[in-house]
Amino acid sequence: MVANTFTDHAEHNDFDDHGETEPREECGVFGVWAPGQEVSKLTYFGLYAIQHRGQEAAGMAVGGEDGLLVFKDMGLVSNVFDESLLESLQGDVAIGHNRYSTAGGKEWANVQPMFGTSKHGQDVALAHNGNLTNYLELRSMAEERGLITEGDTSSDTAVMSALLADGVGDDNSILDSAARLLPHVQGAFSLTFTDGNTLYAARDPHGVRPLVLGRLERGWVVASETCALDIVGAQFIREIEPGELIAIDEAGLRTQRFAETKHKGCVFEYVYLARPDSTIRGRNVNATRLEIGKRLAQTHPADGDLVIPVPESGTPAAVGYARESGIPFGQGLVKNAYVQRTFIQPTQTLRQLGIRLKLNPLREVIEGQRLVVVDDSIVRGNTQRALIKMLREAGAAEVHVRIASPPVKWPCFYGIDFATPAELIANIGGDDSLEGMTETIRNAIGADTLGFVSIDEMVAATEQPANQLCTACFDGNYPLGLPEGNSNADAVRTLLNSAESAE
């Protein structure tokens, strides 16, 4: 049984800072098996903890005496769910999802968890974080089985959910279906799914997106990040291994492998995506960002009076920079914590003010100061250009920009929404050298000086082996390959082939 609500907004628009496309936090997944406990409320708080991973839509599926109930809608977790709704969602198992679309349109039909019913009447709900690179192959498989029709605009998650449900039969459990399906699924995926009785979780063989396992006093939890375990009072047990499929119910925790582990975790989780209080593969995210800031200060010193972050994601690196450089740290920008998304169509005049909805300078702090401004990344550069202009108008004497990641030169096909190659500011100049690229970007955004942390320094800060991280958005090396039938991927192929030919 599926309960759905949707307020029919005419259009969904970001107040996007002159058209800026920031790195989007893709999605977050959560799952809990805890008989006798309020699993819907645990899921609510778990999703609340990972709200940063997706602010477009939220949903949950709860399995209990009334069967498998799914409730989902556009908006933040706190907007979608209220006390009375959570009270009505009673059961022993639940999964939840926060969404920012990277595959599939920004519409209610693509909000997760996805719900399906097998030909034998078995309900299945699935939540997915990531992107599949063989979507067309899976879609063709679903069409051949009559699960979707030609011309259907189903997302990769919807196709995967349909195939999973279709594999359940009299002699085949959902676990059997998953064990057969997952070896054929390519790309990045961290999954939670349920039939209303058992909690299942799986992670792609490369472990691109994080997924962790926690223990409650009377139950189990899986989540995208350890911060979600903390908020529901679960003890961290371990990460779900890449290529691992687990099942949790009254029989306990069962695990099996569907593929060999080939670690290629997303380095951008450490730089920007994950919450600073989360831990990935034993390395605290906040500590990583502090170390990146320290290395930035060593490799790109600046003559400044004050180090200020672009809040919130730039704050840990700015603290690290200040500590290493000896330049005082200060809060020169105030962030409006209540700005997430808006459904109001801004005029061009209002769009020019977009960044001021999010950030406003403290004139008394920055006036007359030589500022070292630390940010997590530059994508198109529009945000930084507007920010630097605003700081100068507020009286900054100089603005030296330091970036806690290398230049973003390539789009991501594994679950992060970046711009196309032509839209990335790192690709606007003709000089491919780091020095030439940096100077082009510096001039474009209007900074006095500009410095990026190198790929090597960034990777070293994570304390992970370099060969076990995906750095594709920085170096164009795509360990999981590129999707077929994707115009953006085709453009990347052309650029990579041209670069190989030139060599």
- Provide the annotated binding site for [4Fe-4S] cluster: 266, 412, 470, 473
The pLDDT value given to residue 438: 95
The pLDDT value given to residue 18: 34
DSSP string computed for 264-301? -EEHHIIIIIS-TT-EETTEEHHHHHHHHHHHHHHHS-
The pLDDT value given to residue 417: 76
- Provide the annotated binding site for Mg(2+): 313, 375-376
- Provide the annotated binding site: 266, 313, 375-376, 412, 470, 473
The pLDDT value given to residue 353: 64
The pLDDT value given to residue 312: 87
Give the contacts of 276 (CB within 8 A, at least 6 positions apart).
285, 286, 289, 316
* Bridge partner list, 72: 59
The pLDDT value given to residue 9: 27
The pLDDT value given to residue 419: 65
Q: Which helix (H) or strand (E) holds 239?
A: strand 235-239
Q: What is the CA radius of gyration of the chain?
A: 23
Is residue 227 part of the annotated active site? The answer reads no
* Bridge partner list, 212: 223, 239
The pLDDT value given to residue 351: 53
The pLDDT value given to residue 385: 93
The catalytic residue among 17, 24, 27, 198 is 27
Contact indicator for 87, 60 with CB cutoff of 8 Å? no
Q: In which residue ranges of the chain is pLDDT below 70?
A: 1-26, 101-106, 151, 153, 338-354, 419, 430, 501-503
Nearest to 367 by CA among 332, 406, 343: 332
